[in-house]
Structure 1
Amino acid sequence: MVCSHILSNVDSIESKVPVNTVVYKDDCMYNFDTAENNELGLDVCLKCFQSYSRGDYDYTSEHCKDSSHSTFLNVVKRLKPVDEKDIEERQNKMAKLEIKEFKEEEVYDIKYNIYCSIDNETFKLEEVPDKYQQLSDSVIKSNSSSRQEDIKAWEQEILPCEHSIEIQQFKSNVDLSKCTQCELKENLWICLHCGALGCGREQFGSNTPGNSHALKHYEMSQHPVAVKLGSLSADDIDNYDAYCYQCNDEVKIPNLLQYLKTFDIDLQKAVKTEKNLIELNLDQNLNWEFQLDGANGEKLKPIFGGNFTGLSNLGNSCYLNSVVQGLFDLDAYQQYFKDKQFPTYQQISNPSKDLKSQMLKIYNGLSSGKYSKPNVLKGDDYQLGIKPTMFKSLIGEEHPEFKTNKQQDAFEFLIYLLDKLDSEYGYDLNKSFKSILTSKVLCSNCFKGSARDDLVDNLSLNIEDEVLKIEEGQKTYKEVELIDSFKQYCEDEIIEGFKCEKCNETTNAIKSVGFKSFPKNLIVNINRIKLENWVPIKINVPVNIPEKIDLSDFRVELDENFEYKKEEKSQFTANEDIKNNLMQMGFPENRCIKALYKTGNNTLDEAMNWLFSHMEDADIDEPLVIEETKSEVSEELINNVMAMGFDHKLSKKALILNNSDPNAAVEWLFNNPNDDGELDTQPSKVDLAEEKPKLIEELTNSTISPHYKLKSIICHKGTSPHTGHYVIFIKKVIDGEEKWVLFNDEKVVECDESNIEDMKTNGYIYIFESV
């Protein structure tokens, strides 16, 4: 007999999940308990369709008290028993389950019941009224929140480009057996313009060979669109590899079937012979070892417990995992979140949409040690790790790149995340990263000068890239010291043709920069991207691991000859780090500022692509001129964007967000296909402009030491920050001794000397702590 509360609630519940309702059934809203790892399973509320758990803390009961929602669908998943010989097959199934190719029922025994929180009783589905059974069946069949957020979790969002929509072809006889310029018979790409067959680039992180002859064909012919032959399949004609070399991106090709027939290739009879780029990416992310073997060939020792919790890779999310691990390792973050409480249901009805809730959830998940245990699905050597699905979805929902499942630049993400957290918390959380950099300019004629203070939370430094030798196309670089990059950053720079406001002479001036105050935690990015033949490449210069650094020599010195410039209000401030990266690649400053303005100040890639496509603009080198902001955009511009197939509401929003630039608006629309067109009119949660003067005064009077010890290094393997793999090495105290620990997604291991070379050649972001 079911309890009275279940019976009394029959009329108030739905018979199925309402249309467009998100069902949160992956993990608890407040911790990382799941139907698999919690003995009592997961309780899905049959009113708000959010999940809660009963364990160390009874979040289900708490939700019931806050919301008066008392009935839940209880889901318990237990691994099916298998023989030892079948363990490897099950692990392979679990890996494929991550990309939704296998059903959970193949791995788990799953039980569903109805739970009443008020009476603390559980009932079988067949015991409860039909309406509960119907609603439960609807919940079971519905996509989970993470599934609904990204229905193809590992696939990239690939769209046609202007070059792949209409392809001019030239009939020719084609030999499809091998590359026309070498003997390779795999990784072959056919030019859809003339049929030339060339091998692709070597796929980093895989055994796929390549000599880049398809790319060389494009450079000679300017035929941009090519397709990988081995990826074509009659069984899945929409899933293939195509690339536009002019756009430097993967593309879809409308009418591919007809284009292939020009060269006597029948897509409807094609048999796939090679892994496509998505599958190669998947293999790389799931199986990357990143030196998990020690100097003597033995496996590095896995570590478990509090503050040794891994983060599962959600699909190219290693950049996010590494950044999050680095931040939550710091005392500033641990102390800030230590005593924080989750807001109540009345305050925040959906924790998945509340950044403070998600940050607290991650803190609890990483620090508790509850989820850092050996797991049979990883062969008992590693843990499963926690999945920051809600956090990733929330933090990236307003960013065209971070909301995708493409690999991203960890440093760009770190900057973006710090800005988002500042807008949520004010300067309280990230105060330890803040410092004041003072730029000064001294006239060589009258010896008077000006100075300007900038509030910063990171530094991006150049490194010397002296090549010692080249063998088989591989460059060996001279090892460098990080302190030399600080010297270069702060050294005097001569400005020729300087117009002095004091003596009114045109002369030379000396420009330099230094620290007015030092941060408690110093974030340093080294610029490993270099432009070669207008192609950005990553340079693997070994940087000696700077266990300690002394920045005393880089403190700014001012005398009575300098006066401070007043802070000028500007309608647009270019992202300083991205601007510097672009300038280091050889682009003039005016071009860099204009590119960042036109692309929304978002990412290095977006700005660089804009620059490449606007190189011939007559006004490309003129200073940026911003017209007075208008609350409305012209109907003519709206109609121009609507001609691309977008409705009036979306077109107007895109133009408003992109300063009435129709090209940028169309690009924004393609990057935000699911946007509802509503303009966010809510005020900022925190007035940073109001807090800034107080923070600057506090930093000006601070006595933080310029002596630092290294806390962690985010490392990257790959040819570009947007490909390859990120991990983080963190200094931890183990058995009373400081040791390096490698956090490679969910794999957490104690390091030895074999990891030193990885840290030297792949170090990308360094986090220091003042001592």
Structure 2
Amino acid sequence: MSEADTAIPMDTTPPPQEPVSSTYSVGIETNIATPNLKVYKDECLYCYDTPYCDGNGVLISTKSFLCVCPKHAEWIVEYEKNCGFVHYKKLIHSSEPEEPKDKIQKLSIKLDTTCETEEYSFVQYPNIARKIPISEIDLPEDIYNSSRSIVYHTSASVQERLEAGVSEWDGEQIFDSENARTLIQLDNGKKLDYTGWMCDEPECGLKENLWLNLTDGAIMCGRPQVVQQGAETVTLPGNGHAKIHYERTKHPIVVKLGTISNGNADVYDYKMDDACKDPKLAQHLSHFGLDLNKMEKTEKSTLEMELDLNQKWEWSRCTEDGVSLESIFGPGFSGIINIGSSCYINSVLQMLYLVPDFVKVYAENAEKFLREIPPKEVLESFNAQTAKVCAALHSGQYSEAERKECGFKPTQFRKVVGRGHREFSTAGQQDAEEYLRHFFEKVDSNVPGPLNPVDAFRFKVETRLLDESSGYVRYSEREDVVQPVTIPFEHAAELTGSGPEKRKVIALDKCLEATFGDEIIEGFQSPVNERVGNAITRTTLKTFPDYLVLQMKRFTYTLEGAIKKLDVDVLLDEQIDLTPYLGKGPQPNENLLPEDVNADVGPRVNQNYVDGILNMGFNMNVARKAVYLTKNASIDAAVEWVMTHMDDADFNEAHPDLKGSRSGAPTSADIEKRGEETKNPLAQELVQLGFPEHKAEHALKQVGGDINAAAEWLFMNADTLPDHPVKEDTPVRENSTAATPKAAKGIRNGSGKYRLRAIVSHMGTSPHSGHYVAHIKRDEKWYLFNDEKVAISQNPPVSLGYLYLLERCP
């Protein structure tokens, strides 16, 4: 017999943990996570580490319920002066997990041969390696109660979606059930305990997936829930006794035990055969001796499980067809995970990261943006969330070949940037160009001095108007950040080559000539000789920015008002010279039109087109501006301009070239109407709650436009504001505790010779559907950024770009 055979087995039982003494708990502050509070569990406040990351998990503060990773724990400890945390970790196993022993552990979802478990323990910073079981034996009462409330609390992100009753993936609203509202409960004297439930059906024995019938108090198991997506099947055990009970009794309303929290619960109406809300849930539970406020959430609702499934869904992606692409990893090659029709955001961010100014302001100064404000404000700060994204792109921390899931999910960034915007605050697909403009406006409104990264894109456009009857000219200029490029589809040629579809092809030079060429305005009344004739306008570039974004106008409107995408290839070289389109300003031999504000110096616009826009319900300023900026081309062109610029900050304002014009000048009624139209509707809702308008406006600025957060802010801080509006010399920047001056806007100018550095292309028939990807050129090599997938490109779709990023040649 060998020595190994006779060896005494080693005792692998872990030594008992010492309980947390009162001395040990010095420096720990605790609060109870009541249902009306939010507990953040999904990711670190300062980076994108999640409970899955490298087995390290995240830490949830017992004081504020904010979430940090171990690397950033010091930041929040320094501010909160609290060292107590609940350590939260998610694990994926390839086989059935063992039953929980000395730790709170919840089985979440079973995916075929894998399962996911959640592990919780208590730790004290800085000794976070010492994990203490959450039990009455191992922890003092206050720490135990606080930790336990965190464990059983729904995460803040899921809580917000459940409160809205909407799945961000399908957008379906959960309805208030009339059957629940008019429910008559049986007076059968039945009273229930808060725990220890089991299906009432004899010999069933199930203790999960249990539903309480709110008519008679019967507790029955639910039916098996199977959700099939791709190769994954998720099954929740159940024998369907709740439905059988309904068929026997016709009592329709049931609530899932274990999902009741903060007035929310998984409620089902068997009569309507749909999920619903019970507006009298507290009353109905009280009938059976249950206090709604004492109910603890221990199971996931149906909606939560659907959200989990959809977030695991492998989104279909557009790749370079027929080519095997080599993945690339490291700093600058971080992918961004699609969080629900967010590819337009991902593509724009990847393009902007190419610009050094954005890296310098937001990535290199990320710690400053994240640490110089209170932790809670990080969640709502535009600058902090933008810095968090740029730092993640810059570090390459989420772009490593060995990671199980590459990329990161900018969920809070999307929420903060889109807050208050009727399109970008939704989970629908949106136009990448419109989002880019919106994002630039947010940067202009929030970035502190001295460097504004939008300056790298800002340029001046010059418009020259020639009055043919007098020979006089006028020059005007405006600022812009994106240059739209017209595609003269009627001049496109047939694309030769193999393929079932006939496509059109046109050179970029033809598009630029159409964009910057002469346009004739008929019916222009000369302010010099009063004659009615023609005017000729030409738009050129007054300055050349460091980076120029060209937007190819691939989308147009049909006569029926539907969006149509032009099926055309635009041929361009990677070296582009825009010098021929430089505006030169007034010339020595030119006579300038008078600037007398009392004269009818405004350009003539087609009144029939103006009337058509007015009949659609828009005001005179909008109508005249739309017709003017589309150069009297057609009513369709004017309508298209209106539809694509409704979110412009100056949408209802008169165009500078049209101000002071007698022809079609707005009446006092127009001005009054415009004043009503420009009132903030969110502020008016707060006024209805009894707050003065100036306080409502201020609160909305403080929280970035979220009406619910603004109402909460007002209830807490309204008394700190003056009773009457005061003139503010320095605008309040959102979520700022200090009056840091904003960076001033600037215009840069240089050579008009550019090189192509990025392409954002779109697949689909509408900018509000389909899919966006970005191709970025670095070190003379093209890379494909397709959400979280980053690869070396073999065949970049140069001719199919929707947005082109041009960099001035060195």
TM tier, smaller: 0.5 to 0.7
Partner of 1:163: none
Q: Judge conservation of contact 1:66–1:344 (CA < 8 Å) in 2.
A: no
- For the residue of structure 2 that corresponds to 1:342, the secondary structure is helix
Structure 1 residues 376-391: aligned runs within 5 Å: 377=404, 383-391=405-413
**Counterpart pick for 2:67 among 51, 56, 74:** 51
CA distance in 2, matches of 1:5, 1:148: 36
Asked whether 1:42 is paired with 2:58, we answer yes
Name the SS of the counterpart of 1:150 in structure 2. helix
Q: Secondary structure at the match of 1:708?
A: strand
TM-score using structure 1 length: 0.65
- 1:122 is displaced (CA, Å) by 3.6
Of residues 343, 352, 356, the one that matches 1:331 is: 356
Q: Which residue of the other structure, out of 168, 191, 206, is the alignment partner of 1:154?
A: 168
Alpha carbons 2:557, 2:636 under 8 Å: kept:
no
Q: Describe the SS at the equivalent of 1:405.
A: coil
Distance 1:67 1:629 in 2: 50
Alignment of 1:63 with 2:63, yes or no, is: no
Q: Which of 68, 81, 93 pairs up with 2:94? A: 81
Match of 1:523 in 2: 549
How far, CA to CA, are the matches of 1:17 and 1:749 in structure 2? Answer: 44
CA deviations 1:635-660 (Å, max 9, x no partner) are: xxx9xx99xxx994499989x99xxx
Asked if 1:442 corresponds to 2:484, the answer is: no
Q: 2:778 aligns with which of 723, 728, 732?
A: 732
Cα deviation for residue 294 of structure 1 reads 4.3
Q: Does 1:288 align with 2:288?
A: no
CA apart distance, 1:439: 0.7
Partner of 1:547: 574
Q: CA deviation at 1:523?
A: 0.8
Residue 359 of structure 1, aligned match among 367, 386, 392: 386
Post-superposition CA distance 1:484-519 (Å, at most 9, x none): 222111101112222222344333221111111101
- 1:108 is aligned to 116
Normalized against structure 2, the TM-score is what? 0.62
**Aligned twin of 1:190:** none
Aligned 8 A contact 1:53 1:59 in 2: yes
Match of 2:475 in 1: 451
- Superposed CA offset, 1:370-398 (max 9, x none): 11023575xxxxx5311111101111111
1:132 matched to 2:143: yes
Counterpart of 2:737 in structure 1 is none
Question: Is the Cα–Cα contact under 8 Å of residues 424 and 685 in structure 1 kept in the other structure?
Answer: no
Which residue of 489, 502, 512 maps to 1:486?
512
Q: Report the alpha carbon displacement of residue 575 of structure 1 after superposing the two structures with TM.
A: 12
- 1:432–1:563 distance in 2 versus 1, CA, 3 Å: farther
Classify 1:501/1:456 alpha carbon distance in 2 versus 1 (closer, same or farther; 3 Å): same
Q: Note the C-alpha offset of 1:540.
A: 2.6
What secondary structure sits across from 1:553 in the alignment?
helix
Question: 1:148 and 1:692 mapped to 2: Cα distance?
Answer: 35
Distance 2:127 2:359 in 1: 37
Judge conservation of contact 2:418–2:425 (CA < 8 Å) in 1.
yes
**Partner SS, residue 476 of structure 1:** coil
Residue of structure 2 equivalent to 1:723: 769
List aligned pairs for 1:577-726, cutoff 5 A: 587=635, 601=648, 626-628=670-672, 648-649=688-689, 676=711, 684-685=731-732, 695=745, 699=748, 702=749, 704-726=750-772
Structure 2 distance, partners of 1:412, 1:650, is 35
Q: Does 1:7 align with 2:45?
A: no
Distance across 2 between alignment mates of 1:564 and 1:306: 55
State the distance in 2 between where 1:732 and 1:410 align. 22
In structure 2, relative to structure 1, the CA distance for the partners of 1:577 and 1:498 (3 Å cut) is closer
User: CA 1:475/1:601 → structure 2, altered by over 3 Å: closer, same or farther?
Assistant: farther
Which amino acid in 1 is paired with 2:807?
Answer: E
2-side partners of 1:8 and 1:454: how far apart?
Answer: 62
Distance 1:521 1:445, change over 3 A: same
Counterparts of residues 185-334 of structure 1 (less than 5 Å)? 237-238=273-274, 286-292=314-320, 294-295=322-323, 299-334=324-359
Q: Matched residues in 1 for 2:173 and 2:627: separation? A: 28
Q: 2:444 matched to 1:422?
A: yes
Change (3 A) 1:675 1:546: farther
Task: Flag the 1:19–1:582 CA change in 2: closer, same or farther, 3 A.
Answer: farther
1:18 aligns with 2:34: yes
8 Å CA contact 1:156, 1:404 repeated in 2:
no
3-state SS of the aligned residue for 2:406? coil
Q: Helix, strand or coil for the counterpart of 1:430? A: helix
Secondary structure of the corresponding residue to residue 517 of structure 1: coil
| Deviation of the 1:139 alpha carbon | 1.9
The verdict on how the C-alpha distance between 1:284 and 1:515 changes in structure 2, with shifts beyond 3 A counting, is farther
Change (3 A) 1:445 1:469: closer
**Aligned partners of 2:92 and 2:114 also within 8 Å:** no
Is the Cα contact below 8 Å between 1:461 and 1:486 reproduced in 2? yes
In the TM superposition, residue 769 of structure 1 has moved relative to its aligned partner by 0.5
Counterpart code for 1:760 = S
Aligned to 1:760: 799
Contact conserved, 1:153 with 1:315, CA < 8 A, in 2?
Answer: no
Instruction: Give the Cα–Cα distance (whole angstroms) in 1 for the partners of residues 808 and 467 of structure 2.
Output: 35
Query: Which piece of structure 1 moves more, 514-523 or 339-348?
Result: 339-348
Structure 1 distance, partners of 2:799, 2:271, is 45
For the residues of structure 2 that align with 1:40 and 1:585, how far apart are their CA atoms?
A: 62
**Does the aligned pair in 2 maintain the 1:543–1:760 contact within 8 Å?**
yes
Do 2:91 and 2:116's aligned partners in 1 also have CA atoms closer than 8 Å?
A: yes
8 Å contact kept, 1:292–1:749: no
- Alpha carbons of structure 1 residues 402 and 519: separation in structure 2 relative to 1, 3 Å: same
Separation in 2, partners of 1:557, 1:368: 44
Q: 1:532 to 1:632 in 2, by over 3 A?
A: closer
What secondary structure, in the 3-state scheme, does the structure 1 residue paired with 2:375 have? coil
**Structure 2 alignment gaps of length 5 or more:** 1-17, 97-106, 175-229, 231-268, 277-305, 603-618, 653-663, 698-704, 719-724, 735-740
Residues 385 and 20 of structure 1: is their aligned pair in 2 closer, same or farther, counting only changes over 3 Å?
same
2:415 maps to 1:369? no
Whole-Å separation in 2 of the counterparts to 1:452 and 1:140: 63
Which residue identity does 1:7 align to in structure 2? Answer: S
Q: Secondary structure at the match of 2:489?
A: coil
What is the distance in 1 between the residues matched to 2:171 and 2:592? 52
How far apart in 1 are the matches of 2:743 and 2:470?
Answer: 32
Distance 1:449 1:64 in 2: 66
Could you give the per-residue CA deviations for residues 564-589 of structure 1, whole angstroms, max 9, x where no partner exists? Answer: 99899x99986999999999995467
2:563 partner letter: P
Q: 1:480 to 1:518 in 2, by over 3 A?
A: same
Q: Distance in 2 between matches of 1:743 and 1:20?
A: 40
Q: Indicate the structure (1 or 2) with the bigger Cα radius of gyration.
A: 2
Change (3 A) 1:491 1:3: farther
Structure 2 residue identity aligned to 1:64: V
The Cα of 1:44 is off from its aligned counterpart by 0.9
1:347 pairs with 2:373:
yes
Q: 2:422 aligns with which of 400, 403, 426?
A: 400
Contact kept? 2:452, 2:745, Cα under 8 Å: no
